[in-house]
Structure 1
Amino acid sequence: MKKLVFALFVLCAFASCDNGDDVPRKKDRTDIPLTKSEQALADAGNDFAFSLFRQVSSSHAQPANIILSPISVNYMMSMLNNGAAGKTEEEIAWTLGFEGAQPDEINAYNQKMLVASADIDPQVTVHTANSIWVRNGLNVLPAFREANESYYKATVRNLDFSKSDALKQINDWTSKNTDGRIPKILDEINPNACIYLLNAIAFRGEWSTPFETSNTKKDLFTDAQGREQEVQMMNASFSGVVCEHEKYRMLSRSYGNGAFSMSILLPDEGVTNAEVIASLTGESWRLLPENRNGYQIHLKLPRFSTSYDIELNDVLQALGITSAFSAADADFSKLSRERIFLSRALQKARIEVDEEGTKAETVTMGEGWVSSPGPRPEMQKMDFFVNRPFIYLISEYSTGAIYFIGEINRIE
């Protein structure tokens, strides 16, 4: 049975840290070929992913379980950016890491990732869908519609937002494209809304080497508050590579043919998730493989699942997208001749990890209003016991794109 998740970028780190017996070799793996300029966009996306994660995590007064999809935010905001101009377009591109790139370059890069990620591993499903829902009476400019239909395969539909069936259609689309695991994105349609842009991603991945269910035992997990809880702990032993940082160790475990993997960042004893997250940048991530060693590993990983909903307005404004949210300053003159601003951005996501693999889904929505490897060293033994709070990422191997990133502070 396949399992499900969503993503962003980290080429060098995953390419180096996944070199173990648990990981299928390159001959079994299909890569996504990127040009030098496209890889630069992917690398810049790492900074956005970590900045987004850092901003969201630090907004909580107490440690929380988080699951985010930076790439879903990227797809939704990139579609919206096809309607932006002037300062608004500059802010969106800069925040996403696309500063200096032309709109067609951004769209072509996103299109390549959308199409290629769906077909590179028969044991992994990455289903991505985009839609734009337009209130009857709002005239959307042809170039905006054509760019999103062409590059993002977005379905663009006109609806009478005043009818109850409009809400049902949007939520039915959400449910359909997440296998029913995110049944709705909206509780109601705001009477001021004139357009909704949605991206949905559903990831299902089977481990390359599943955990043996018979080896799953009750064990203790110490949460972020120092409280012990009894959990179902999966166990596996294999030879592999661990990347070691001054504050944490990282182990990656692959899905299917190795095109996708989950990386677990385990803070050292006495180090918090917050301290590790504060240190994560695109640059530190690229340098991490310089400190890698091969081990005979005993891995303990708890089964875990979590869901997370977040309003992104404050987060995106803190990261640099400000004018888009201002009725006075937003410039979406390439979307419509009406004056439109971004009134709301939100994301819902969930993840489930067990012996067979991973299920993960996300939906990101924007609501617009009209304003008035080297040689393997000799193997030593390592216990990689994930029995305390940790950070996790799901990424694509060849591009480094991070589809999901999150942290676990307590097993739910």
Structure 2
Amino acid sequence: MSTRKLGAIASALAVALLGASFMTGNVAAREADKEGSAKPADLAKADNDFGIDQFKRLHKDGENTFISPTSIATAMQMATEGARGETKAELEKALGTADIDTPEAVKGFGAELAKRDGVKLSMANSLWADPDRVTLNDEYVQNMQDYFDSAVKTADFGNPATVKAINDWIAGKTNNLIRDMLKEIPEVAVSYLINAIYFKGDWTVKFDKKKTKEADFHLAGGDTKKVKLMSRNDDIPYSEQDGVQIAKLTYGKDKKNAMWVLLPSEEKGLDQLVKDFDAATFKKWQQRTWEREGTIKLPRFKLHFKKELSDSLKAAGIV
């Protein structure tokens, strides 16, 4: 396995913060008689499809892109439960959840996240509303608490202390890794829907620190950079398909969480990999990957990514 630019698709730590300025007047309650799948697996597939679409829209050549599909989708699903009519249909179409009983699936998904051994994986939701700008339907609030396990808070959006309160909530749910998310609250905002995901885990098979060496790392643009490369030799789920090397690095004792590392060939390149990437292709690659002995070298890295999602959401059909 060579050490060219890595394209890592991973959901590790992120915050999705949605200013729901469309939530004026009374918010529609959940349709209790909606028919649809309540399986967390179906919701996860919809989240992945939506997340990959957002990833491709946000990616810029030569730049790192780091998002959590679940974090973005969950915030949007909370908004969907507070919408009705054409707005609700528009959101469900974009999210791919028209045939899914989203609240029930979200509840099951949250329970599944708790079943992890050797990793800490938690998800937290909150709804913040200015009572002078919006009236929340009681049943909607109850659904947020029952299905999304969401904290529901009211606050004066014109008071700078509210910015601090929201930022403190986010920092608390992400172990202080994400701070000062908001600088100010715009006048058009009437509520905020926030999802925070925190992940911390040990590799199932740890990298030996003594084997970490400085070496050349080849960037997508062709330049070379000296970096600290971790190295590990053992049985690793691996395959080569469609001009891409695929490796799976698991976390925890139960191996339920994993980082999938995708390394395109020089001919394919990272930008073409992103353009060609979709959920069906990724599933095919996963199914055709099996353990084999080999050496993987991975750079130590830290990612910070902050992006306004309005344009990418509009491009996906959410206006």
TM-score by length of 2: 0.84
Partner of 1:93: 92
Whether contact under 8 Å (1:53, 1:68) holds in the other structure is yes
Secondary structure at 2:274 match in 1: helix
Kept in 1, the 8 Å contact 2:51–2:72? The answer is no
Residues 1:77 and 2:76 aligned together = yes
Q: How much does 1:294 deviate? A: 4.3
- Output the CA distance in 2 between the equivalents of 1:107 and 1:6: 22
Aligned to 1:407: none
Instruction: Give the Å deviation of 1:164.
Output: 2.0
Q: Which residue of 2 aligns with 1:302?
A: 299
**Are 1:288 and 2:290 counterparts?**
no
Q: Any gaps of 5 or more consecutive residues in structure 2?
A: 1-10, 15-36
**Secondary structure of 1:307's aligned partner:** coil
Aligned match of 2:115: 120
> Residues 171-214 of structure 1, C-alpha deviation per residue, up to 9 Å, x if partnerless?
11111111111112210111232111111111101101110000
1:166, CA displacement in angstroms? 1.2
Seen in structure 2, the aligned counterparts of structure 1 residues 36 and 83 have a Cα distance that, compared at 3 Å, is closer
Residue matched to 2:251 = 255
For residue 42 of structure 1, report the CA deviation from its aligned partner: 2.6
| Aligned residue identity for 1:123 | G
Q: Describe how 1:5-404 pairs up with structure 2 within 5 A.
A: 5-6=12-13, 37-57=39-59, 60=60, 62-101=61-100, 105-117=101-113, 119-137=114-132, 138-257=134-253, 258-289=255-286, 291-292=288-289, 294-322=291-319
Partner SS for 2:303? strand
What do residues 312-345 of structure 1 show as CA deviations (whole Å, max 9, x unaligned)?
11101111112xxxxxxxxxxxxxxxxxxxxxxx
* AA aligned opposite 2:300: R
1:72–1:199 Cα contact (<8 Å) kept: yes
Contact 1:92–1:321 (CA under 8 A) maintained in structure 2: yes
Which residue number corresponds to residue 386 of structure 1? Answer: none
Q: Within 1, Cα distance between the matches of 2:76 and 2:261? A: 28
User: 1:36 deviation in Å?
Assistant: 8.6
- For the residue of structure 1 that corresponds to 2:195, the secondary structure is strand
User: Hey, what's the Cα distance between the residues in 1 that align with 2:158 and 2:311?
Assistant: 28
1:181/1:290 CA distance change after superposition, 3 Å? closer
Aligned equivalents of 2:192, 2:291: Cα separation in 1 = 49
Does the CA contact (< 8 Å) of 2:47 and 2:95 recur in 1?
yes
Shift of 1:97: 1.6
Change (3 A) 1:319 1:222: same
User: In 2, are the aligned partners of 1:236 and 1:299 still within 8 Å (CA)?
Assistant: yes
Runs (5+) with no aligned partner, structure 1? 8-34, 323-412
Which has the larger strand fraction? 1
Deviation of residue 244 (structure 1)? Answer: 2.2
C-alpha offsets along residues 19-73 of structure 1, whole Å, 9 cap, x if unaligned? xxxxxxxxxxxxxxxx89543333233321211111111xx2x310111011001
The structural deviation recorded for 1:282 is: 1.8
Determine the C-alpha separation between the residues in 2 that align with 1:6 and 1:183: 13
CA contact (8 A) 2:238 2:245 kept: yes
Residue 115 of structure 1: SS of its match in structure 2? helix
- Aligned alpha-carbon RMSD (Å): 1.9
**Percent identical across equivalent pairs?**
27
C-alpha deviation, 1:167, in angstroms? 1.3
Question: Which whole-Å CA distance do the structure 2 matches of 1:162 and 1:43 have between them?
Answer: 39
What is the alpha-carbon distance in structure 1 between the residues aligned to residue 38 and residue 182 of structure 2? 40
Aligned length: 285
- Looking at structure 2, the residues matched to 182 and 208 of structure 1 have their Cα atoms a distance apart, in angstroms, of 26
Post-superposition offset of 1:306: 1.2
- 1:262 shift after superposition: 0.5
- Distance, in Å, in 1 between the alignment partners of 2:302 and 2:258 is 17
Shift of 1:225: 1.9
Counterpart secondary structure, 2:12? coil
Aligned mates of 2:291, 2:169 — CA distance in 1: 46
The structure-2 alpha-carbon separation of the partners of 1:110 and 1:36, relative to structure 1 and needing over 3 Å to count, comes to: closer
CA contact (8 A) 1:132 1:154 kept: yes
- Judged with a 3 Å threshold, the aligned counterparts in structure 2 of structure 1 residues 95 and 287 are, in CA distance, closer, same or farther, namely same
Structure 1 residue 279, shift from structure 2 partner:
1.6
1:277 to partner: Cα distance: 1.4
Cα shift readout 1:218-277 (whole Å, capped 9, x = no counterpart): 100011221111100000001233132112011001000201010100101232212111
Q: What SS does structure 2 have at the residue aligned with 1:100?
A: coil
Would the alpha carbon gap of residues 36 and 169 (structure 1) be closer, same or farther in structure 2, given more than 3 Å must change? closer
* Alpha-carbon offset, residue 293 of structure 1: 5.1
Distance 1:209 1:251 in 2: 14
